[in-house]
Amino acid sequence: MYKVILSMGIYGDYNKARKLAKQFKIFYPLYKLYESFHCAYLPLNNTFKGPVYFPHGVRGCFFSKECEIGEGCVIMHHVTIGSNYELGTDRSLDKYGAPKIGNNVFIGAGAKIIGPITIGDNAKIGAGCVVVKDVPAGATCVMQAPRLIIK
């Protein structure tokens, strides 16, 4: 039992921590400690279709409650996968919602994926990208080249 708590604790594996917190309510406070230590928000009621890999840990990651993430995704640190709801709006409208991410998607560090969009299977999202439109399967999404603005 002690090894299970340590493996789920501050330095443990996210997938293992999530599984234990969903199965046994007693582990939920440890899961919240895990989140707070890593400055992350990863609610238990979002959908993970399989294991998700965090090579740099879950540091700074924020996931919406309604987002869906496919199997085998690789998600780097400081990623936001968020919904775009406004207070007092009808959530059934097409322009509001949370992302659906396909299988085996790579999401680079600091990427932001926001709104009711779909990221296709085997897609790659580059570091620092802000994605608000659908990305087809197998596509690579990168930021524009930096530009200088001289006054």
Q: pLDDT at position 101, please?
A: 95
Question: What would the two tokens of residue 9 be?
Answer: 């604790």
**Model confidence at 3: pLDDT above 50:** no
Reduced to 3 DSSP states, what percent helix, strand and coil does the chain have, rounded to the nearest 5? 20, 20, 60
- The model carries a pTM of 0.81
78 assigned to active site: no
Q: E strand or H helix at 106, and its extent?
A: strand 106-107
63, 126, 74: which is closest to 102 by C-alpha?
A: 74
Q: Which residue type is seen at 25? A: K
Domain boundaries, the chain: 1-37, 39-141
Q: How do residues 19-61 score in pLDDT, each as one tens digit?
A: 788 888 888 887 787 787 778 888 888 888 888 888 888 888 9
Query: What CATH number does domain 39-141 carry, 1.20.1270.10, 3.40.190.10, 3.30.70.20, 2.160.10.10?
Result: 2.160.10.10
